Structure 1
Amino acid sequence: MNVTPVGIDIAKNVFQVHYIDPDTGEIVNKAIKRSQFLEYFANRSRCMIGMEACGSSHHWARQLTAMGHAVKLMPAKFVKAFNIRNKNDAADARAIWLAVQQPSKAVAVKTEMQQAVLMMHRQREQLVKFRTMQINCLRGMLAEFGEVMGAGRVAMAKAIPDTIARIEERLPKVLIDSLRDQWSRIEKMGEEISTIERRLREWKKEDRAVKAIFEIPGVGLLTATAAVAMMGDPKAFKSGREFAAWAGLVPKQTGTGGKVSLHGISKRGDTYLRMLLIHGARAVLTHAKVPTPWIEELKKRRPLNVVVVALANKIARTIWAVLAHGRSYERDYVSVKPS
């Protein structure tokens, strides 16, 4: 059955819809209010609806899919190539309508639970940044009064009680109270971070996919939960190599005249997930009791950071293989192509 391609530029209150009516051939490009959006598509025949993968797109994709429509979420950079003139809602909807008809890689629609886990990761990441800022600020203020302590949160936590007690006798009380308030805020943010991590551990106990990839060396609580939530449907990727490329862990390529040059990693995809994978790979190299022969040989030929990224790439491909094939992790597993 032929389906009508429809391009939708979503927003907060007014959505722009672009399509060609299959019966009359009329070009329809109209604005629809948020309250009337689902009603507009409720009684229509099945459509191929294209949207940019941006804020609230996964919510609307779930709603439209429940009505029987096919939804294709696309990266904004892919859609941008089809908007060749002035940028406005009508032009964006037309560009999305053109893009949805092209063969391209779609973004997997995430479930509500996957989005909720991603929200917790974003909250934790923001709290860690704020806590680091507050710690550095407090250390700098104490240094202005001749109190120097070691770098890092743990070192400050050990030294701050004695430091405040020591300067309390010679500095104004208003300053001491401000320093104590700032340290209380730092401790409060630490408690909030611990609460988020506890909730992630609870989800790990309930989710089979997270428990499966948690056994992979270099994959901890944060990496396991973030990978499952960000990937969406693992079968949206054709291979582990494609997932690693989506995470930005493959070399960037430039070429002309049949000559291809490889450069540094592309750094495409989500920065947060790539950071977790690289930190996990670095931990494996640092703490592994029995390094694998593959790592030992690679260390002889490449710099350490290149080895770390190569191992992160391998971890990403292992994560995809475990999730896509629905099996548990086996350290000595050897993949054999069917004859």
Structure 2
Amino acid sequence: MKTTTFGVDLAKRVFQVHWVDMDTGEINRRQLKREQLVTFFAKQAPALIAMEACGSAHYWARRFASFGHQVRLIAPSFVRPFVKRNKTDVADAQAIWEAAQRPEMRFVAVKSEAQQAVLTLHRVRAQLLKMRRMQINQTHGLLYEFGAAVHRGSHSMSDAARMLGELADALPAMVIDTLREQLQRIEALTRDIRAIEHRLAAWLRQDEGATRLAAIPGVGLLTATAAIATIGEASTFRSGREFAAFLGLVPRQSGTGGRVKLLGISKRGDVYLRTLLIHGARAVLSHPKHLSDALQRLLARRPFNVVVVALANKTARTIWALLAHARTYQSGYVAHAA
């Protein structure tokens, strides 16, 4: 007996399900409420359930897997070509069902609760950093209007507090009080950011894979934990190059008539992890005394930013190799052909 494939269009309250009866060939469409969706799939025989990798997809994937179903998550960009004419919930569910039938379709690994929790910390930290940067820039601008030039960066808040004290007699009290409250908000954001980093560090010490990744040059606390949480399962990618392509660290291609032209990096995939890898590579290259001969030769003939991306690509492949083959990092390791 063949396994039935269900295409589910996720939503907050109203879900759309599409499937085809394997015995009769009848096309079925059904709209279900949130509480009805769980009951519906709990009663079904083990089946293949396909969904878009969107909000709450990993939660529902774990929930359906607990019922004995096989779950496949598909990137929304891979589902879009199968949507016919108008975009509706019915059309989306059918498109998901059709995309799941393709033999070469790429699927997204289902994340565990722990991996989603780590990503939650990263997302909150990134937002707090953005808010702190906005507050600092505004404080610098407001002080500059009164002739106080503060150095750039988050470490200049002590200078800002000192200058604010010097201007206390020259400015209205309401301005001084408001700017002091602004400095207090910046300090509170800094404390919150450090608290999140302490939680990530505690999780890294408990996770064996993240600890192995942290040994790679250019991979620190943020990159190691974000990589573990983003990849999910290393077996999702067939090679390190596929993982690098997933992160957008490979050239875009444009070709016709048998001629292929390589362009800049594609910048597809996870922007956050790609940014961390590039920052890590830039930090490694900023210490030329500790660079390998290969990197020094590459720096001699290629622009600095090109070498940064190349090193980030190599770091991404190394991350995949360590996770896929359960290895530890070895400096100067050379892979041998089978």
After TM superposition, the score normalised by the length of structure 1 is 0.98
Q: Which residue of 2 aligns with 1:334?
A: 334
Distance 2:291 2:97 in 1: 51
Q: Which residue of 1 aligns with 2:185?
A: 185
Q: Which residue of 2 aligns with 1:45?
A: 45
Q: Which residue of 2 aligns with 1:85?
A: 85
Q: Which residue of 1 aligns with 2:126?
A: 125
Distance 2:162 2:73 in 1: 56
How does 1:202-241 map onto structure 2 within 5 Å? Answer: 202-241=202-241
1:76 correspondence with 2:76: yes
Distance 1:290 1:173 in 2: 53
Q: Which residue of 2 aligns with 1:285?
A: 285
Distance 1:8 1:273 in 2: 29
| Structure 1, gaps ≥5 residues long | none
Distance 2:162 2:54 in 1: 49
After superposition, the CA RMSD in angstroms is 1.0
Evaluate the alpha carbon distance shift between residue 108 and residue 288 of structure 1 in structure 2; reply closer, same or farther with a 3 A threshold: farther
| Structure 2, gaps ≥5 residues long | none
Q: Which residue of 2 aligns with 1:159?
A: 159
- Could you tell me which amino acid in structure 2 is paired with residue 252 of structure 1? R
* Cα drift, residue 133 of structure 1: 0.3
Distance 2:58 2:196 in 1: 23
What is the DSSP-based 3-state SS (H/G/I as helix, E as strand, rest coil) of the residue aligned with 1:168?
Answer: coil
* Cα drift, residue 123 of structure 1: 0.3
- Could you tell me which amino acid in structure 2 is paired with residue 114 of structure 1? Q
How does 1:1-339 map onto structure 2 within 5 Å? Answer: 2-102=2-102, 103-154=104-155, 156-338=156-338
Distance 2:235 2:77 in 1: 23
Distance 2:281 2:71 in 1: 36
Distance 2:265 2:246 in 1: 11
Tell whether the 8 Å contact from 2:2 to 2:22 is kept in structure 1 after alignment: no
Q: Structure 1 stretch 37-46 or stretch 121-130: which is displaced more?
A: 37-46
Determine what percentage of the aligned residue pairs are the same residue: 53
Distance 2:6 2:101 in 1: 9
Tell whether the 8 Å contact from 2:161 to 2:180 is kept in structure 1 after alignment: no
Tell whether the 8 Å contact from 2:157 to 2:183 is kept in structure 1 after alignment: no
Distance 2:290 2:132 in 1: 36
List per-residue Cα deviations over 1:193-220 (Å, max 9, x = no partner): 0000000000001000000010000000
Evaluate the alpha carbon distance shift between residue 199 and residue 288 of structure 1 in structure 2; reply closer, same or farther with a 3 A threshold: farther
Tell whether the 8 Å contact from 2:214 to 2:220 is kept in structure 1 after alignment: yes
Distance 2:199 2:73 in 1: 29
List per-residue Cα deviations over 1:176-208 (Å, max 9, x = no partner): 110011110000000000000000000001000
List per-residue Cα deviations over 1:282-327 (Å, max 9, x = no partner): 1011125321121112112211100000000000000000011001
Q: Structure 1 stretch 282-291 or stretch 191-200: which is displaced more?
A: 282-291
What is the DSSP-based 3-state SS (H/G/I as helix, E as strand, rest coil) of the residue aligned with 2:289?
Answer: coil
Evaluate the alpha carbon distance shift between residue 299 and residue 170 of structure 1 in structure 2; reply closer, same or farther with a 3 A threshold: same
Distance 2:255 2:124 in 1: 41
Distance 1:287 1:194 in 2: 26
Q: Segments of 4+ in structure 1 off by > 6 A?
A: none
Distance 1:297 1:65 in 2: 51
Distance 1:244 1:23 in 2: 42
Distance 1:13 1:23 in 2: 31
Distance 1:236 1:66 in 2: 21
Distance 1:126 1:285 in 2: 28
What is the DSSP-based 3-state SS (H/G/I as helix, E as strand, rest coil) of the residue aligned with 2:134?
Answer: helix
Tell whether the 8 Å contact from 2:18 to 2:94 is kept in structure 1 after alignment: yes
- Could you tell me which amino acid in structure 2 is paired with residue 79 of structure 1? V
What is the DSSP-based 3-state SS (H/G/I as helix, E as strand, rest coil) of the residue aligned with 2:248?
Answer: coil
Distance 1:219 1:15 in 2: 41
